[in-house]
Amino acid sequence: MGHSIVEDDLKKQLVAMLPVESNVTKITYEGPFLVVYSKNPKVLMEDGEIVKNLARMLRKRILIKSDHDIRMPKDEAEKIIREIVPTDAEITAIAFDDDMGDIVIEAKKPGIVIGKNGSTLRELVKAVFWRPTVVRTPPLTSSLIQNIRRILQQHSATRQAALLNIGQRIHRRLISQTGGWLRLTALGGFREVGRTCLLLETHESKVMIDCGVNVGSSSPTHMFPRLDLPEFELQELDAVIITHAHLDHSGFAPFLYKYGYRGPLYCTEPTRNLMTLLQIDYLEVANREGKLSPYSFRNIQEELIHTIPLKYGEVTDIDPDMRLTYHNAGHILGSAIVHLHLGEGVYNIAFAHDFKYAKSRLLDPATSRFPRIETLIMESTYGGPRDIVASRKESERQIVKIINETINRRGKVLIPVLSVGRAQELMIVLDELTRRKLIPEIPIYLDGMIGEATAIHTCHPEYLSANLRERIFHAHENPFLSEWFTQVENQNTRDEIAESGSCVIMATSGMLAGGPSVEHFRLLAPNEKNSIIFVSYQADRTLGRRIQNGAKEIQMVGPTKKTQLVRVNMDIHTSDGFSGHSDRRQLLNYLRRISPKPEKVVLIHGEESKMLALANTIRRSLRAETLTPQNLETIRMR
Ligand code: ZN
């Protein structure tokens, strides 16, 4: 071909450092990874130090793969794998990726496939010459994850080509070696909640952090991030970095692919899966309700092909002058605080968009220790002076009281929830309350994408709290599988539930902005025996907020498309204690304990009055420079 995939001098350097007998046939990029294909990978695998030293010297992440010609034929390889791995590992599936040379082994006991210190896995590689990844067979099957795997498999060649392009771009030469400037532009989610989006630019590169939609809004000027800035050029974007799956952080990302962006999207693996689920649901709800949808299913698929999942703590080059590391944010499964290291340690920024600085049942608290940090971008959702939420214990007592009172008068309890996050937290709580007989054994219905989202949770147990992991793996007590939960399938079931006895209904969406919760509300609202409990943030102008504020009559459209006036006679309650956000106290605690201390704090993700109030307190009591930019403003950091 004449031209080399990896720059010639880097290639020479690499080959010179590898033993001759490793017989390297190709050196290429797969996104941020430098991949070395070898006809004798045993040499490199037996002496792990060679590769480690190489990675250290080149400051790149390196993967060793076997040359295509020496990989064992698939059926033979599958046979050998089943022979080598002890049967009590209970392998449930083995899938091959021809283009990438990868195999995914799904087993009920992945630890046994891996073996002590990875011994079984190493033995496997040397026997079959494929690169194995071991995943746990989830107790609930997620059809979405199966579909994602199928799509990635089908488009493996396209993905490989895309990853090569991405890799070449990441490892391009710096334009100038001297440190330049650094600017952050607010594209959405400033002095408001929804459509979070930021653009970070240096003299070398441009990255976007989060790309959300405001699902509560119906006005086109407030729904989407402001990508209409003259300095925003889609083709110049090096990377899109997503903090977590909620639509107000990820919902607009497929739009970038619709308009020709073909660069990488970084996120954790649970975020990839949950984000895809929520984006698909967003399109389905929009189609069903005749609303504007800014992109199509095809664009979601394109996004998926370009998504590069990263684990917490992995330091990854994303362009010539930025390194990205994800840290636990404690907000929802796979949620992350994004840490960016710019230049050679010149500047460090952490983005704590949505985070919980307290333990929840589902997750461990957000990380507060970073290697370095100059600026912290922090949410302010509950930053107002009155936003001290009840403790988890008090909130649980409150829920017990509401549920029991409602059941005593033969009513039903509706809890509108986000399908990802609060739904699972509440499932763990309701399961425990039932087990401890604090509430009677009544049916708990789940409506919307909750079932699928829960299945995805069971696929990534390593991201759950230490406590919950302990219960699931050692006490064999998985609250998500409890018998009291029933998934609602269709409208008939909703009508039947409305006619039947006492129950709890958890339904999406959390702000009554479309989805089945609206339908349950329409059916249950007129009866004063029923109760509704709001457990998540209700954005301005949403139906949820109006009801929370005491609206007594609501114009609604029923399933037959007829408009009707619904009287709200049911009991209205709010319980913020289950929130995945840090409340005012936790936000301030975080700033006190974060290490090292940032010089500058920039507030995001909060209503204007709360943001300004929190900024005042931070300036006064913590003496930190605190900024509250508006959308479309740019801050210069260096
Ligand atoms: Zn969120």
C-alpha 208 – ligand 1 centre gap (Å) = 17
Distance (Å) from CA 206 to ligand 1 centroid: 24
Put simply, whether the predicted model's pTM sits higher than 0.85 gets the answer yes
Distance from the alpha carbon of residue 176 to the mean position of ligand 1, in angstroms: 38
Say how many Å lie between the CA of residue 21 and the centre of ligand 1: 51
Residues lining ligand 1 (ion), CB within 5 A?
246, 354
Give me 616's structure tokens.
């005042």
Residue 3 has pLDDT above 50, yes or no: no
Question: What does the mean pLDDT of the chain come to?
Answer: 91
**What gap in Å lies between CA 151 and CA 300, rounded to an integer?**
11
Q: How far is the CA of 153 from the centre of ligand 1 (A)?
A: 30
Q: How confident is the model at residue 177 (pLDDT cuts 50, 70, 90)?
A: low
Question: What is the Å distance from ligand 1's center to 190 Cα?
Answer: 15
Q: pLDDT confidence of 15, banded at 50, 70, 90?
A: confident
Q: Which of 515 and 159 is assigned the larger pLDDT?
A: 159
Report how far ligand 1's centroid is from the alpha carbon of 537 (Å).
10
The predicted pLDDT at position 392 comes to 87
**Predicted confidence band of residue 292 (pLDDT cuts 50, 70, 90):** confident
pLDDT (mean) for 326-343? 96
Condensed to tens digits (0 to 9), the pLDDT of residues 22-76 reads: 888 888 899 999 998 888 887 777 767 888 888 888 888 888 888 888 899 999 9
At residue 102, the pLDDT reads: 87
Q: How far is the centre of ligand 1, averaged over its atoms, from the C-alpha of 196 (Å)?
A: 10
pLDDT at residue number 1: 36
pLDDT > 60? residue 4? no
- Which pLDDT score is estimated for 179? 64
Least confident of 285-289, 358-362, 613-617: 285-289
Query: Which DSSP string do the residues of 556-616 spell out, in sequence order?
Result: EE-TTS-EEEEE--SEEEE-GGG-SS-BHHHHHHHHHH-BSPPSEEEEESS-HHHHHHHHH
Judged by average pLDDT, the poorest of 330-339, 488-497, 585-594 is 488-497
pLDDT at 388: 85
Whole-number pLDDT of residue 212: 97
Predicted local confidence at residue 221, as pLDDT: 83
d(CA 432, ligand 1 centre) in Å: 25
Cα-to-centroid distance, 163 and ligand 1 (Å) = 28
* Residue 178: predicted pLDDT: 60
Q: What's the rounded Cα separation, in Å, for the pair 559 and 249?
A: 30
Asked if residue 192 lies in contact with residue 608, where contact means CB atoms within 8 angstroms, the answer is: yes
613 CA distance to ligand 1 centroid (A)? 21
Q: Confidence class of residue 369 from pLDDT cuts 50, 70 and 90? A: very high
- Residue 558: pLDDT above 90? no
How far does the centroid of ligand 1 lie from the alpha carbon of residue 330, in Å?
10
In this prediction, residue 2 carries a pLDDT of: 35
CA of 223 to the centre of ligand 1 (A): 16
- 417 C-alpha to ligand 1 centroid (Å): 12
Rounded to the nearest angstrom, the distance between the alpha carbon of 354 and the centre of ligand 1 is: 5
552 C-alpha to ligand 1 centroid (Å): 29
Q: 335 C-alpha to center of ligand 1: Å?
A: 8
pLDDT score, position 523 = 94
Interval 421-477: pLDDT, tens? 889 999 999 999 999 999 999 999 999 889 999 999 998 989 999 999 988 888 788
Residue 407, pLDDT above cutoff 80: yes
Percent share of the chain, pLDDT over 70:
98
Q: How far is the CA of 246 from the centre of ligand 1 (A)?
A: 5
Q: How far is the CA of 194 from the centre of ligand 1 (A)?
A: 9
CA 50 to centroid of ligand 1, rounded, Å: 42
Summarised one tens digit per residue, pLDDT across range 82-137 is: 999 999 999 999 988 887 788 999 999 999 999 998 899 988 988 898 988 898 88
Q: How many whole angstroms from 279 Cα to the centroid of ligand 1?
A: 14
Distance 243 CA to ligand 1 centre (A): 9
Residue 244 Cα to ligand 1 midpoint, Å, equals 7
Q: How far is the CA of 195 from the centre of ligand 1 (A)?
A: 11
Tokens 């509430």 belong to 439
Looking at residue 85, its pLDDT comes to: 95
CB distance 217 to 223 below 8 Å: yes
Q: What are the structure tokens assigned to 127, written together?
A: 């026997």
Q: How far is CA 433 from CA 404, 405, 441, 505, in A?
A: 11, 15, 9, 15
According to the model, what pLDDT value does residue 439 have? 97
pLDDT of 5 over the 70 cut: no
For residues 380-415, one letter each, b for 16 or more C-beta atoms within 10 angstroms of the residue's C-beta and e for the rest, the string is: bbbbbeebebbebeebbebbeebbeebbeeebbbbb
Question: By percentage, how much of the chain surpasses pLDDT 90?
Answer: 67
Residues 340-354, mean pLDDT to the nearest whole number: 91
- Predicted confidence at residue 373, as pLDDT, reads 96
Expressed in angstroms and rounded, the spacing between residue 497 Cα and the centre of ligand 1 is 30
